[in-house]
A and B are shown apart, each in its own frame.
Chain A
Amino acid sequence: MTTASLSGGPEPRAAAVSLPMRPTGRSWWQTAAVRRLSFGYLLLAPAALYVMLLVGAPFLFSLWLAVSDANVGEPVARFVGLQNFRDAVEMDTFWIAMRNSVVFLVVAAIFKGLLGTLLAFLLLQDFRGKKLIRGLVVIPFTLPVAISVLSWKWMYDSQFSVINWVLHQLGLIGGYGSESWPVWLGQPALALMACIAVNVWRTFPFSAIVLLAGFTAVPLEVLDAAKVDGCSFFQRFRNIVVPMIFPIFMIGFLFDTVFTLSDLSVVYLLTQGGPGNATKILPVLAYQIGIQAGNLGRGAAIALFLVPLLFPMLFLVLRNIKRKEW
């Protein structure tokens, strides 16, 4: 029974279970281990229950909604199979939203990746006033999203846009009302870019800080050793820095993907998906159909189209988190 602990076995649980049992001769439920476990699960229970009841159950419930004809007016829903998914796929708007979501995600990821990487490198340097500058640069990420988007909406104003004022002063565009006067949120091609720009503005500090956390986790001794051994900057970067920051980079990337794909506030506040359907993305469509039109079933089905996009992400995050011992 105690061979493991006698031979120096590393399993503390075995020792804790087995040692007090014999001499006291108490029943099994009175042992320290059992008390510790029941105490532990008791402490865990409120959080676990909350999450199960208000995240787990609703998630399963949304699967049921998606295959039912539930709507706001009639609470009693019938099973309709995959009808909602079929209806969604037959909507032109759905495909527009799908395309916009993917464009949004990819374009935004490229820009915040580039901006974030450069910023992370800059913040890695030693210079005066670093704390202050870092504090200023991360403001877009720390402002509540609904608040900062309003500021952008004002800057994108069709007539009194400060961006246009500057462009006009520089002679790059004509006066208000002329052909070359951009109406940022009113022209289909510009509107999507304008929304993407706000997302990039909001989240590039996140990319930068995540990458910075990765860079600073690379032990300097290893880099110095490689330098002494004659590795070039590129070799050091390619063979030491990249593999070491890869897991943290992945985590940051995946979190950002999940937040960007599922965020409705930027687009909803700027354009509500318009003009036409130019900026309609899946979350906005799901909200409009599920809440505004009251078609809970189809709304849930549309929201669930995000899952196949998100699950590979969750899986990757999980693997990355578990890979490291802690």
Chain B
Amino acid sequence: MKAPRTDREKSVRRHVLIYAALTPYVFIAVFPIYWMAITAFKHERDLYVMGNIPFWFNLPPTLKNFYTLFYQTNFGSWIVNTMTISAWVAVITLLTAVPAGYALARLRLPGAENIGIAIFMTYLVPSIILFLPLSLVVATLGLQDSWWSLVLVYPTFTIPFCTWLMMGFFKTVPMEMEEAARVDGCGQLGALVRVVLPVSMPGVLTSVIFAFTLSMQDFLYGLAFVAPGDQKPVPVGVPTELIRGDVYFWGSIMAAALLVGLPVAILYNFFLDRFIQGITGGVVK
């Protein structure tokens, strides 16, 4: 016969069960990061010893891998490239997606719903189908072997996504605010710039973040279009330049992965719900 349990005991029991079930998940999710981090700070000799326990330092931790990264590779350039590319992509995305999202959400254009869906659907045209024709576009414009080619092609996925996102966002701005502005003598553009945009700043910020994080997720375009070592963005530079033939600079590779991956993952983490909302946008409000 079971003894009657108090609420507190029940709650504790429930928590223990939930944590027990979640532990493997957390472990699987986080271990590769931990492994990245510990490798990044290990001496090379410490990496290739089979007898020691590999989960902790057997030699004192070192910053040597980071020095190698910054002083003997183009890592610095890759970071600058990535930031510059992302900034341009964000600018292009904002200049196109914000007005388009506004027009589709608020101006009662005939067929707005279908146009919105059509634009969003282009997000689903995979880069593997587009990269060959785009390689010719890039070559025709003389952008091959320069990161400008990526500034040109990354908006092909950020614009559809962010237009869709902004469309949903503008729908939540109360119509009355805009009408009040119009009554007060603002033109259409004035109402948009002075009233709607300021209250939509969170949406605009979200679009900027996605222009950045979605650009970081690309590998194919960067691999196909940008060959010179100093022109690559980080996600392409690290695997292609730090692995030379069969020689792997694991310490430096993991240092690079840690330096870039962690901030992006943390940033993306905060906006993940918006990403999911965007994708499932039409289904769940």
Q: A residues touching B (Cβ–Cβ < 8 Å)?
A: 12-13, 16, 35-37, 39-41, 43-44, 46-48, 50-51, 54-59, 61-62, 65, 115, 118-119, 122, 125, 127-128, 133, 135-152, 154-155, 157, 159-160, 162, 165, 176, 201, 205-206, 209-210, 213-214, 217, 247-248, 251-252, 255, 258-259, 261-262, 264-265, 268-269, 282-283, 286-287, 290-291, 296, 299-300, 303-304, 306-307, 310, 313-314, 317-318, 320-322, 324, 326
Which of B2-10, B58-66, B128-136, B198-206 faces chain A? B128-136
Provide 8 A-B residue pairs closer than 8 Å at the C-beta atoms, listed in order of the A residue.
Answer: A39-B103, A48-B100, A59-B129, A147-B235, A255-B124, A269-B239, A296-B136, A320-B282
Q: Which of B18, B48, B122 contacts A51 (CB 8 A)?
A: B122
Q: Provide the residues of chain A in CB contact with B128, threshold 8 Å.
A: 262, 264, 282-283, 286-287, 303, 306
- A303 contact from B129, B136, B279, Cβ within 8 A: B129
Question: In B17-57, which residues have CB < 8 Å from any A CB?
Answer: 18-19, 21-22, 25-26, 28-30, 32-33, 35-36, 39, 47-48, 50, 54-55
Decide if B119 is an interface residue (CB 8 Å cutoff): yes
- Contact, CB under 8 Å: A322 / B26: no
Q: How many residues of B contact A (CB 8 A)?
A: 101
Main SS of chain A's interface residues? helix
Contact yes or no, A160 B32, CB < 8 A = no
Query: In chain A, what residue has the closest Cβ to B121?
Result: A314
B251 to nearest A CB, angstroms?
10
Q: Which of A118, A151, A252 contacts B257 (CB 8 A)?
A: A151
Would you call the interface of chain B mostly helix, strand, loop, or mixed?
helix
Given contacts A43-B103, A127-B14, A201-B28, 18 further A-B contacts (CB under 8 A): A36-B107, A36-B108, A44-B104, A46-B95, A50-B96, A54-B152, A59-B129, A141-B272, A142-B268, A147-B257, A152-B32, A213-B273, A262-B129, A291-B131, A291-B132, A299-B132, A306-B129, A321-B120
CA distance A282 to B129 in the complex (A): 11
User: CB-defined interface of B88-123 with A at 8 Å, one 1/0 digit per residue?
Assistant: 000010011101101110011110010101011110
B235 with A146: CB separation less than 8 A: yes
Contacts of A210 in B (CB 8 A): 276, 279-280
Contacts of A299 in B (CB 8 A): 132
Other-chain contact of B264, A39, A142, A252 (Cβ < 8 Å): A142
A258 x B188 contact (CB < 8 A): no
B 256-285 binary contact with A (CB < 8 Å = 1; else 0): 110011001110110011001101111111
Task: Please measure, in the bound complex, the distance between the C-alpha atom of A259 and the C-alpha atom of B214, giving whole angstroms.
Answer: 13
- Residue from B133, B213, B272 in contact with A209 in the complex, judged by beta carbons closer than 8 Å: B272
Contact of B100 among A37, A46, A143, A300 (CB under 8 A): A46
